[in-house]
Each structure stands twice: as C-alpha cells, then as structure tokens.
A and B are shown apart, each in its own frame.
Chain A
Amino acid sequence: MGVEIRSTAFEPYHELVLYQARMQAAGQYGATAVFVGTMRDFNDGDEVKGMTLEHYPGMTENYLAGICQQAGQRWSIIDSLIIHRVGELLPNDPIVLVAVWSAHRKDAFEASVYLMEELKSKAPFWKKEVLANGHRWVQQNTPGH
C-alpha cells in the first residue's frame, strides 16, 4: 500500500511501472485499475491559468492510508497506490494517481472508484485557481459517481 503527497510534478505512468516492479507480485494480479486526474485549463466557464493545491499535512496522509486499509477490507485486492500533488500546478499537470491491483477486475474497479470518491469528498486538499483577473477558491467538488 502506497500513499504519497508530492510537492513537485510527477509522471503517473512512470510511477505505476516503478511501484508495480517493487510490489513483487508478478503472477498474482490479473487486473490493474488506474485513475489519473489531470488539471484542466477551464472551470465554471473561465480559463484557468494555474492552480495552488493546499493540504493539511499529517491528516491528509492519515486519511488516505485509512481509506486504503478500508478498501483492503472491503475488496480482495493485492495492493493500492495513491499519489497526489500539492503546491503550484499548471494545466495538463497530473494531480492524482489512484491504482489498485487485484486478481479479478471487479475488485480493482470497485476499490478504485471507492478510493477516488472518498478522496474527492473527504481528503483535506483545497484548490485555488489562478484566473486571468485574480484568484478563486474552488467551492466544492462535483459528485462524480
């Protein structure tokens, strides 16, 4: 189980390869479900030029580790990985990677949706957008699933 908060840019597909090699579970998993969240250059009808992601150090890591443990109890999964950016981001920068490995696809699919929806609704991160004419805090996440 991996949980990481990154203050600099990361390449999610490279991270996947690295993490999967370290898992030493070759032959055990038949399914890998992957979600990558990427920064858009528009929101609420406005062009977004950049973003600052704030978090609550300590609580964020605890919360994410907690939902990974919950996922491990609810579904039959082999491993999971969450990487999330904080700090200054630009459009097209990856924000979040969620990956789940399992023997069969149902567990990986369902656990990855659970992790992503819990993260979006309760993990203490906050986005502040840079617009052409100033800054704007994102008020709330839209229901996703």
Chain B
Amino acid sequence: MGIQVRFFASLRERLQLSECALPFEESMTVEQVWNQVTHNEPIPANLLCALNMEYVSLSHVVKAGDEVAFFPPVTGG
C-alpha cells in the first residue's frame, strides 16, 4: 500500500499534476512526500498541506495508505 498524493488549483496547474501514487517508505514526512513527488521543487511560502483530509504541517509523519494533498491559500465564500 502506497501513498496517494493530490494537488489542487494553481499548484495543480503549475506542476501539471493532479494526483499520483508514491511507494511508502519508513518515517516519511509530508515534506519528504513533497520533495519526492515534485523532484525537490522549492516549497511555496504559502503552501497548505492536508493528510487524510485534515490540515497538517510539513513535519507530520505519513503512513502507508495515507492521502496527502498540497494546495495554495483557499479562496472560497
């Protein structure tokens, strides 16, 4: 079981990537997921991260089967 990674809005367009799967590695953080999937793209200053649809920080540890999402500041309402 791997990790599902999703991107939204302007970030999805810029990276030209909506979602992808990563093989799970021990003690992986959200930041390491970003680095692997984007091939070490600089992390945007205003980046928001979610783990299984809850907000988390970049240092949060992921586990097998998790869904990680990255997106820019929200603009609803």
Contact = CB atoms under 8 A, between A and B. Distances in A.
Given A56-B6, A141-B76, 19 more contacts: A54-B8, A59-B53, A84-B77, A96-B76, A119-B76, A124-B48, A124-B71, A125-B75, A125-B76, A126-B9, A126-B72, A127-B75, A127-B76, A137-B10, A137-B13, A139-B73, A139-B75, A140-B46, A141-B77
Contacts of A59: 50, 53-54, 69
A58 B50 CA distance: 12
B20 interface: no
Contacts of A54: 8-9
Contacts of A119: 76-77
A124 B77 contact: no
B74 interface: yes
A128 interface: yes
Interface of A: 37, 53-56, 58-59, 62-63, 84, 95-96, 116, 119-128, 137-141
Interface of B: 6, 8-10, 13, 46, 48, 50, 53-55, 69, 71-77
A140 B8 CA distance: 14
B77 A37 contact: yes
A123 B74 contact: yes
Given A59-B53, A126-B8, A137 B77 contact: no
Contacts of A124: 8, 48, 50, 71, 74, 76
A84 B71 contact: no
**Quick one: which of A84, A116, A124, A140 has the most chain B CB within 10 A?**
A124
Contact of A125 (B48, B53, B54, B77): B77
B69 A140 contact: no
Contacts of A84: 76-77
Contacts of B9: 54, 126, 128, 137
A120 B74 CA distance: 7
Contacts of B13: 137
Contact of B75 (A63, A116, A138): A138
